[in-house]
Amino acid sequence: MRRILVALKRVIDYNVRVRVRPDGSGVVTDGVKMSINPFDEIALEEALRIRERGGADEVLAISIGPDDTQQQLRNALAMGADRAILVKSAQAIEPPAVARVLLAFVERETPMLVILGKQAIDDDCSQTGQMLAALWQRPQATFASKLELTEKVARVTREVDAGLETIEVDLPAVITTDLRLNEPRYIKLPDIMKAKKKPLDVVELASLGLDAASQLTVVGLEPPPQRKKGVMVKDAAELVATLRQKGLV
Amino acid sequence: MNRILIVAEHLDGKLNAAVAKCVSCASAIPDAEIDVAVLAIDGSAVAAAAAGIAGVKRVLLVKNAANEPALAAVLAPQVAELAKGCSHVFGPSTTFGKDLMPRVAALLDAPQLSDVMAVESATRFKRPVYAGNAIATVESAAGRQVVATVRVASFQPAAAGGPAPVETVAVAAELPSHTRFVSVTAARSDRPDLQTAARVVSGGRALGSKENFALIQGLADRLGAAIGASRAAVDAGYAPNELQVGQTGKIIAPELYVAIGISGAIQHLTGIKDARTIVAINKDAEAPIFEVADYGLVGDLFSLIPEIEKQL
Ligand SMILES: Cc1cc2nc3c(=O)[nH]c(=O)nc-3n(C[C@H](O)[C@H](O)[C@H](O)COP(=O)(O)OP(=O)(O)OC[C@H]3O[C@@H](n4cnc5c(N)ncnc54)[C@H](O)[C@@H]3O)c2cc1C
Ligand SMILES: Nc1ncnc2c1ncn2[C@@H]1O[C@H](COP(=O)(O)O)[C@@H](O)[C@H]1O
Partner-chain contact A248 B128, CB within 8 Å: no
* Mutation site for B-interface testing, chosen from A130, A169, A178 by largest number of B Cβ within 10 Å: A130
Chain B neighbors of A221, CB-CB under 8 A: 129, 134-137
pLDDT, tens digit (0-9, with 9 covering 90-100), for A85-140: 999 999 999 999 999 999 999 999 999 999 999 999 999 999 999 999 999 999 99
Phi-psi domain of B224 (left: phi exceeds 0; alpha: psi -120 through 50; beta: other) = left
According to the model, what pLDDT value does residue A227 have? 87
Cβ separation of A248 and B185 shorter than 8 Å? no
Q: What is the DSSP string of chain B?
A: -EEEEEEPPEETTEE-THHHHHHHHHHTSTTEEEEEEEEESS-HHHHHHHHTBTTEEEEEEEE-GGGSS--HHHHHHHHHHHTTT-SEEEEESSHHHHHHHHHHHHHHT--EEEEE-EESSSSEEEEEEGGGTEEEEEEEPTTS-EEEEE-GGGSPPPPB--PPPEEE-----PPP-SEEEEEEE----SSPPTTT-SEEEEE-GGG-SHHHHHHHHHHHHHHT-EEEE-HHHHHTTSS-GGGBBSTTSB----SEEEEES----HHHHTTTTT-SEEEEEES-TT-THHHH-SEEEES-HHHHHHHHHHH-
Tell whether the model's pLDDT for residue A157 goes beyond 80: yes
Indicate the pLDDT class of residue A78, thresholds 50, 70 and 90: very high
**Distance from C-alpha of A149 to C-alpha of B154, rounded to nearest angstrom:** 39
Distance of alpha carbon B16 from alpha carbon B7, whole angstroms: 11
- Confidence at residue B186, expressed as pLDDT on a 0 to 100 scale: 78
Cα–Cα nearest to B167, from B78, B35, B49: B35
Q: pLDDT at residue A245 above 90?
A: yes
153-192 in A: which are within 8 Å (CB) of B?
Answer: 155, 158-170, 173, 178-180
Quick one: pLDDT at residue A160? 96
Give A72-126 as a DSSP string: HHHHHHHHT-SEEEEEE-SS---HHHHHHHHHHHHHHH--SEEEEES--TTT---
Residue percentage of chain A with pLDDT more than 70: 100
Reported as a single tens digit per residue, the pLDDT across B163-184 is 999 999 999 999 999 999 999 9
**Sequence-distant (≥ 6) Cβ neighbours of residue A215 within 8 angstroms:** A94, A96, B110, B111, B140, B141, B144
Cβ contact B105–A96 (<8 Å):
yes
Ligand 2 midpoint to CA B88 (Å) = 24
Q: Is A53 helix (H, G, I), strand (E, B) or coil?
A: coil
Helix B95-108 vs helix A128-136: angle between axes, to the nearest 10 degrees? 50
Mean pLDDT value of segment A166-173 = 98
Residues of B in contact with A249 (CB under 8 A): 199, 223, 256, 312
Containing A221, the helix (H) or strand (E) segment is strand A216-222
Which residue's alpha carbon is nearest to atom 21 within ligand 2?
A117
pLDDT value of residue B190: 78
Q: What is the mean pLDDT of chain A?
A: 96
Residue nearest atom 14 in ligand 2 by C-alpha distance: A119
pLDDT of residue B191: 85
Protein residue with least CA distance to atom 10, ligand 2: A9
Q: How far apart are CA A132 and CA B176, in angstroms?
A: 16
In chain A, what residues touch B298 (CB-CB under 8 Å)?
232
Tell me how crowded residue A199 is: count the other CB atoms within 10 A of its CB: 10
Flag whether the ipTM exceeds 0.85: yes
Per-residue pLDDT 10s for chain B (312 aa) are: 899 999 999 999 999 999 999 999 999 999 999 999 999 999 999 999 999 999 999 999 999 999 999 999 999 999 999 999 999 999 999 999 999 999 999 999 999 999 999 999 999 999 999 999 999 999 999 889 999 999 999 999 999 998 999 999 999 999 999 999 999 997 767 788 899 899 999 999 999 999 999 999 999 999 999 999 999 999 999 999 999 999 989 999 999 999 999 999 999 999 999 999 999 999 999 999 999 999 999 999 999 999 999 999
Q: In terms of DSSP bridges, do strands B277-282 and B32-40 run parallel, antiparallel, or are they unpaired?
A: unpaired
